[in-house]
Amino acid sequence: MPTRLGFERIFQILGQRNYGLFTLGNSISLIGTWMQRIASGWLAWTLTESAGWVGAIAFADLFPCMLIGPFAGAAADRWDRLKVMRIGQYLGFAQALLLAILFFLDTLTIWPLFLITLFNGFVTGGLQPFRLSITPGLVTKDWLTAAIAINSVTFNLARFIGPAAAGLMIALGGMGLTFALNAFSFLAFVAALSVVKLHGQTRTPSGKSFGTDIVIGLKTAVTMPGVNAIILQLIVSGICVRPVLELLPGWAAQAFNGNSSDFAALTSAFGIGAIIAGLMLATRQSARGLTGVLVWSNIAMCGALLLFALSTHVWMALPLAMFTGMCMVGAATTAQTLTQMLVPDEFRGRVLSVVGLVMRGSPAIGALIVGIASDRLGMRIPLIAGVSIHLALMLFYVVGFSRFRSMLEDRL
């Protein structure tokens, strides 16, 4: 009965006009984004056969958030969030179309791929605080946990559909088509954003300079009890654990002696697990107990990744990838939900920009470091080392669990 009511809750929130339209447009765009991400990663491996270059492409995609994120967070607390989101989709359309044109002209080498990915990284990083801050304006607070969980489901459903479609197209020789389809997926999101209306998100100038607002946002994120502990966990997991996703081309080809189909299968397995986690969290009607989900999901993820690192065949790694995806998204969605509910709206854009910066920037740094290490040590040793570091932090959180839970849940 609770499960049935929980899934009815999912359909109820998707039936809300603003949130439903936003989710539809966002889903289409995310599928295109994942198609391009898979194609870019595999193209980088094909051009160079270097895990270091694959890591560099992931770095170009993710790291710009660390440079532009604080400014974008202050802007998200000042500017029209929907208007900025629409402009960002047009920029995304332009970069994807350029990739498609260069590929079809047979002039897309590793450096143009890196530079265009870097440009897209700045666009995506700049939009991150706006995207995260929009959700509370689409639903009321009692629907926020479900909305954030469904956002995670759509992201990871795209992680499943996008790689599957990209893998099929790459196998059939249509890599350029993945870039072209991604270009037009941005236009679908523009259409949705053009008719969505936000409530309770009127931007009011703070009377302070951008620099002052940025400093206040950073200070709030670093000093707010509970939120700072979440951010620390996201930094460590992003650097030490998350690079396994960005380096999957190397795992498929080098560690498991596979091909592009195996790469797509591994990526989809992570996505399936993530969808399961998102659906489970979307049925929750209360944020109480999410601290336990956060801690134990991270610990279970570490265990699964240690077994993944020791796997010798793709068929052994696939179920572990699915379980890892479930734990990884369970932890990330829980962290974002707790942060959204703890932060006042006047600081939301700036604090969430820090969270977005960490969630994109840490994996960028990790992918670069682990990618270079993997070129020298193989794929397995760097992953085992990273997982061990993250596991040590999470065991420290277990020791102080009661205090950690009190910091996060007493103010909900």
Q: Where are the beta strands (DSSP E) in 12-165?
A: none
E strand or H helix that includes residue 221: helix 210-223
The contacts found for 391-396 with CB under 8 angstroms, 24 or more apart, are: 391/299, 391/302, 393/232, 393/233, 393/236, 394/233, 394/295, 394/298, 394/299, 394/302, 395/299
Does the structure show a pLDDT above 50 at 3?
A: no
Distance from C-alpha of 114 to C-alpha of 223, rounded to nearest angstrom: 36
pLDDT number for residue 285: 66
Cβ neighbours, 10 Å, residue 71: 17
pLDDT number for residue 6: 55
pTM of the model: 0.73
- % of the chain surpassing 70 pLDDT: 92
Does the structure show a pLDDT above 90 at 235?
A: yes
Does the structure show a pLDDT above 90 at 323?
A: yes
* Residue 352, SS3 per DSSP: helix
Report, as an integer, the average pLDDT of 9-22: 83
Residue ranges of domains in the chain: 2-196+210-407
pLDDT number for residue 321: 93
Report in angstroms the alpha-carbon separations of 408 from 58, 224, 344, 393.
Answer: 32, 10, 14, 18
Higher pLDDT among residues 2 and 172, named by residue: 172
Check if the beta carbon of residue 98 is closer than 8 Å to that of residue 182.
no
Check if the beta carbon of residue 131 is closer than 8 Å to that of residue 85.
yes
Cβ neighbours, 10 Å, residue 316: 14
Residue 1: pLDDT band with limits 50, 70, 90: very low
Q: Which CATH architecture has domain 2-196+210-407?
A: Up-down Bundle (1.20)
Check if the beta carbon of residue 138 is closer than 8 Å to that of residue 147.
yes
Top-ranked range on mean pLDDT: pick from 118-127, 250-259, 274-283, 284-293: 118-127
Check if the beta carbon of residue 369 is closer than 8 Å to that of residue 239.
yes
Higher pLDDT among residues 46 and 353, named by residue: 46
